[in-house]
Structure 1
Amino acid sequence: MSFFISPAYAAGGSPTGSGFELIIMMAVFAIIFYFMIFRPQSKRAKEQRNLLTSLSKGDEVLTSGGIVGRITKISDDNDYLQLSLDETTTIVIKKDFVSAVLPKGTLKSL
């Protein structure tokens, strides 16, 4: 039977890779992790911080819940905003829930 199939022998000894290759592979994974996950997330967080600091009275904003309103009052000491949805309805929300500042006149076009 061994005429057609050569017998398999187990490879003995140490593996051919070294510890240096493992370090290089881990460094490559760390670089990929940084550029694919960490860096874009930190950019988005920086943009959100800049958006929240640039809010002013009279800005028309969109909240993360989908509410569109005009800022009527900003409370700096506790990070809350008062939004006017129309002439009679006002709500109070936390600044963190503002997702975008809309162009002037957006409320009138809705």
Structure 2
Amino acid sequence: MEGAGAIGSFLPLILIFGIMYFLLIRPQQKKMKEHQAMVEALRRGDQVITQGGIVGKVSKVKDDGEIEVEIADGVKVRIIKSTVAQVLSKTEPAAAADKG
């Protein structure tokens, strides 16, 4: 019977952890996955806002986790892809006829 008492004393802790998981951890993981998908879908011509508040148009997507953003006529800056906070407008993907 002592084992049942020990399990009973841990039950509130287990319930609290379960509630914390569903209210805090799981939504945060979902948000991170959505952000990662948004960053991976960046393409030339997209209008973006960085976490620093800079608004610009993507002029080049590089393979090493960087993008080049034009923030004014002729003014381009290199930024890390993960610092893009929001995509304001997406460019249309190339037509299937252009590929083949």
Inter-partner Cα distance in structure 2 for 1:62 and 1:91: 13
Deviations 1:69-92 (A, max 9, x none): 00000101x111100112121111
The secondary structure found in structure 2 opposite 1:85 is strand
The residue correspondences of 1:16-95 to structure 2 (distance < 5 A) are: 18-76=5-63, 78-95=64-81
The secondary structure found in structure 2 opposite 1:65 is coil
TM-score, normalised with respect to structure 2: 0.80
Deviations 1:38-58 (A, max 9, x none): 101101110111101110000
Q: Structure 2 unaligned segments of length 5 or more: list them.
A: 91-100
Structure with more helix by fraction: 2
| Count of aligned residue pairs for this structure pair | 87
Q: Structure 1 unaligned segments of length 5 or more: list them.
A: 1-17, 105-110
**RMSD of equivalent CA atoms:** 1.5
Please identify runs of 4+ aligned residues in structure 1 that moved more than 6 A: none
TM-score, normalised with respect to structure 1: 0.73
Inter-partner Cα distance in structure 1 for 2:50 and 2:15: 39
Name the amino acid aligned to 2:61: I
